[in-house]
Amino acid sequence: MIRAGGYACFGPSALPEDVIHLARVREKVRAIFNSLPDYVCLATAERLRSSKPLREAVPVDVVRLEVASLGSKELYS
């Protein structure tokens, strides 16, 4: 039996292999995330804009967020 997206599937061809793989990755990420201690950090992202593909991007602004991981929740401010 394979769990994918909350559904139990039986047999080797019940779901496409990429769907099964994605479900396994999600389960691993969930397990890792749940084992992390509570923390707060500052995330900074510089946003860029380009008018045409392959043109040099120009800075638009900088976004700073405080990110907190508390239990099973992520909070942004």
Range of the domain at 73: 37-77
pLDDT of residue 14: 79
Query: Are 12 and 28 members of one domain?
Result: yes
5 vs 20: CA distance, rounded Å: 9
Query: Are 43 and 74 members of one domain?
Result: yes
Place of tokens 């997206």: 5
- pLDDT, tens digit (0-9, with 9 covering 90-100), for 13-56: 678 999 999 999 999 998 887 788 888 999 999 999 998 888 88
pLDDT-based confidence at residue 6 (cuts at 50, 70, 90): low
Q: What φ, ψ does residue 53 adopt, rounded to 5°?
A: -60, 145
Which of 45, 49, 47 is CA-nearest to residue 65? 45
30 vs 41: CA distance, rounded Å: 20
pTM for the complete prediction?
A: 0.44
Distance of CA 6 to the CA centre of its chain: 18
pLDDT of residue 18: 92
Query: Are 31 and 41 members of one domain?
Result: no
Residue 1 has pLDDT above 80, yes or no: no
